[in-house]
């Protein structure tokens, strides 16, 4: 029977921030909160705009190829997983300098290893919210 749950907030019973869900193979469970991306962003460094994002309060252009992603809700620590990519040929992207409230997303030309702006600087973080 199909079922629909209408709710605005889901909270664990034993621990508010911990809900187990059954894995696809029906044999193990995984933690829902731990598996959720806590923030993500797609930003245009040329126009200094955010295309779309989650849990990002703002972005700050600190220099060519350097963008601070300022979080709306802080992380619990700076030991979270950061992954990123960018959209232009011949360029590389790295995330750097994570703190509980922000991290830096940088882009570089691979030909001469100089900082450069890109059309789409994308990143996501996974870890523990404060």
Partner 1 sequence: MASELRVNTLKDASGNNSVATSVVFGGTAKAWADIAAGGASLPDSHNCSSIDDDGTGDYGINLTNAMSSSSHSVIPDVTHDHSSGASSIRVACVTTKQTGSLELKFAYLSSSAVWTQYDIESDGSISVFGDLA
Element (H, E) at 32: helix 32-35
- Least Å distance between CB 53 and partner 1? 17
- Least Å distance between CB 25 and partner 1? 4
Question: Taking CB under 8 A as the criterion, which residues in 75-104 touch partner 1?
Answer: 77, 79-84, 92, 94-98
Per CB under 8 A, 17 contacts partner 1: no
Candidate ranges 44-52, 53-61, 74-82; the one touching partner 1 (CB under 8 A) = 74-82
41 with 82: CB under 8 angstroms? Answer: no
Q: What angle do CA 102, 60, 97 make, to 5 degrees?
A: 35
């Amino acid at each position: 029977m199909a079922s629909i749950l209408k709710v605005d907030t889901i909270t664990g019973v034993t621990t508010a921030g911990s809900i187990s869900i059954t894995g696809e193979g029906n044999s193990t469970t995984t933690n829902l909160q731990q598996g959720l991306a806590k923030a993500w962003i797609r930003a245009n460094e040329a126009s200094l705009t955010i295309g779309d994002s989650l849990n990002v309060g703002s972005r700050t252009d600190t220099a060519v190829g350097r963008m601070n992603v300022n979080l709306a809700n802080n992380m619990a620590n700076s030991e979270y997983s950061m992954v990123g990519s960018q959209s232009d040929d011949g360029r590389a992207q790295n995330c750097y300098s994570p703190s509980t409230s922000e991290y830096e997303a940088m882009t570089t030309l691979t030909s001469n290893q100089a900082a450069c702006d890109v059309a789409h600087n994308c990143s996501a973080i996974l870890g523990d919210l404060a």
